[in-house]
Amino acid sequence: MTDNLKLYVVDTQYINYLKQFQEHIWDNDDKGKIRPYIGILIPLNNFNYYAPLSSPKQKHDSMKDRLDFIRIDHKNELKCVINLNNIIPVNDFSISLLDIENEEELYRNLLNTELIEIRKKQHTIINNSGILYNKITRHIKDNPKLANICYDFKLLEEKCNEYRLIYDKFIKQVAATEDDFKTS
């Protein structure tokens, strides 16, 4: 998976579920328009963590890469950023591969450029994610500034597992209902 990072979209229902337990998780819509959470997957602690991409903002212009923040530049132009403090664990059924080829040409070109540049920084992204994860989950008292800006990764892992159980139960109910229709 990490040899060839790809772009994914997260299911809105899953985002809404996590938002019940963790403040500041980004919405999958913006002022009524669907704005899909687009990001990459990073393996951490037996989970796939989803690292969302963010459009560049003026405040990012002067910011340099650091443990929780990665700039994605192309030809000295900032294309997007990855805020590693916003990573969330995801189940395989809560994400889908983004079909870049189905996007409008300008957006498709932007996404392809971002993906090329993200892959160039893949080692840094994965390494920083692991260090950040360990600082927050094992040494949180030593890192109060990071703790203030990062999600509670352990809580989100617990909720990710709970969501899997809810999903599995739902799938079994659907299968049982289908069986009932077949035997009727």
Q: Which CATH number do you get for residue 112? A: 3.10.129.130
Q: Which residues lie below 8 Å from residue 67, measured CB to CB, with a gap of 6+? A: 84, 128, 131, 132, 135, 146
| Structural domain containing residue 22 | 2-183
Element (H, E) at 158: helix 153-183
pTM of the model: 0.88
- Could you read off the pLDDT of 59-104 as tens digits, one per residue? 999 999 999 999 999 999 999 999 999 999 999 999 999 999 999 9
- Could you read off the pLDDT of 37-62 as tens digits, one per residue? 799 999 999 999 999 999 999 999 99
Nearest to 114 by CA among 54, 157, 159: 54
The number of folded domains in the chain is: 1
Bridge partners (DSSP) of residue 81 are: 54, 71
**Total residues found in the chain within this entry:** 184
Distance (Å, whole) CA 109 – CA 103: 9
Nearest to 52 by CA among 139, 140, 129, 109: 129
User: What angle, 0 to 180 degrees and rounded to 10, lies between the N-to-C axes of helices 122-138 and 105-120?
Assistant: 70
Element (H, E) at 105: helix 105-120
